Amino acid sequence: MTVSDPVVEDVVSTISRTATEIRQGLVGRRGTVDEENPSGETQAEADIWADELLEGRLTEIDGIGEYASEERATVVDCGADPDGDAYAIACDPLDGSSNLKSNNAMGTIFGVYDAALPARGDTLVAAGYVLYGPITTMVLATEESVSVYEMSGGERRLVQSDVTLPEEPVVYGFGGGVSNWPDEFEAFAREIETELKLRYGGAMIADVNQVLTYGGIFGYPGLESRPAGKLRLQFEGNPIGYVVERAGGRSSNGHRSLLTIDPDDLHERTPVHVGNAELIDRLEDRPT
């Protein structure tokens, strides 16, 4: 099933082809380089390689005015005006690349914004992720719906459409470490751990995919040592928040939808909570 907006369809099919190549090229690129990304994190060879592949292809698409990624300090200007009739793409080329060493799931996150970057999440027109798990799948959210595809040979095959979060939550995953959590989040987490099953693997989209599949909540809160948390608004919070909200769930920074945050900086971090609406409401309603 193709996407009705031809530019978004071109982006999604380009990412499908490139993601297949990324997955195949992970072998032999599991090392780290002596470089840091703009967030100060050591880069894997695969981080840089995946970013270069995506940038080279996505910036060639007519109708794309900007490209930005977690691996690049600044936005790549593709010439067209994203405040005009061009979109801007924000990518996390390899989310969870630290899982390369341990051979656990990871993936590629993308968001298509109808605004110049950095932009509010409610300017997204599409967002999604490719998950490099036992098989390669893509979850794609557009203004119409949320769909799941299986990927093979650079092509995507629709396996589920109109995806919604299961009513009954089953799993949870909270990052950052309990010793780093503010007291009010720790109290919330202690409640949730008596109600749901722990699923946390160190790559946001693999953990979020558990929530989308089984129902529940994923969170990476603000920490005592790092009040804004770890995850980036443009490249992780907004695209995943858009997917989960389109699937009938909620996103939050602890107080409000991630998609309503006015960004100040391309690489700004934010606390990220996504999942079943009742659980996010409970989090936001807690005394702080």
- Both tokens of 115, joined, read 């605004």
For residue 200, report the phi and psi dihedrals to the nearest 5 degrees.
-140, 120
**Is 111 a residue that touches ligand P6P (CB under 6 A)?**
no
Q: Which of residues 215-234 bind ligand P6P (CB under 6 A)?
A: 220, 230-231
**Is 204 a residue that touches ligand P6P (CB under 6 A)?**
yes
Residue 160 vs residues 140, 145, 223, 268: alpha-carbon distances, Å: 10, 11, 36, 33
**Is 175 a residue that touches ligand P6P (CB under 6 A)?**
yes
For residue 233, report the phi and psi dihedrals to the nearest 5 degrees.
-65, -50
How near is the Cβ of 96 to ligand P6P at its closest, in Å?
A: 4
Where does this chain touch ligand P6P (CB under 6 A) — which range of 17-25, 47-55, 82-90, 95-103? 95-103
Residue type, 270: T
Angle at 213 between CA 232 and CA 283, to 5 degrees: 55
Let me know: does 234 contact 118? Beta carbons within 8 Å.
yes
Q: Which of 65, 82, 93, 96 binds ligand P6P (CB under 6 A)?
A: 96
How near is the Cβ of 53 to ligand P6P at its closest, in Å?
A: 19
How near is the Cβ of 144 to ligand P6P at its closest, in Å?
A: 27
Q: Alpha-carbon distance 20 to 18, whole Å?
A: 5
Residues tagged in the binding site annotation for Mg(2+): 70, 92, 94-95, 236
How near is the Cβ of 45 to ligand P6P at its closest, in Å?
A: 16
Residue nearest ligand P6P (C-beta atom): 204
- Pick the closer one to ligand P6P by CB: 61 or 258: 258
How near is the Cβ of 230 to ligand P6P at its closest, in Å?
A: 6
Do the strands 64-69 and 42-44 form a parallel or antiparallel pair, or are they unpaired?
unpaired
**Is 181 a residue that touches ligand P6P (CB under 6 A)?**
no
CA atoms within 13 A on the CB side of 40: 4
**Is 257 a residue that touches ligand P6P (CB under 6 A)?**
no
**Is 237 a residue that touches ligand P6P (CB under 6 A)?**
no
Q: Alpha-carbon distance 110 to 69, whole Å?
A: 9
Q: Which of 5, 66, 95, 245 binds ligand P6P (CB under 6 A)?
A: 95
Do the strands 64-69 and 87-95 form a parallel or antiparallel pair, or are they unpaired?
parallel
Q: 197, 191, 194, 50: which is closest to 130 by C-alpha?
A: 50
Q: Binding-site residue total for ligand P6P (CB under 6 A)? A: 11
- Both tokens of 48, joined, read 């840089």
Q: Which of 77, 202, 214, 260 binds ligand P6P (CB under 6 A)?
A: 202
Site residues (CB under 6 A) for ligand P6P?
95-96, 98, 175-176, 202-204, 220, 230-231
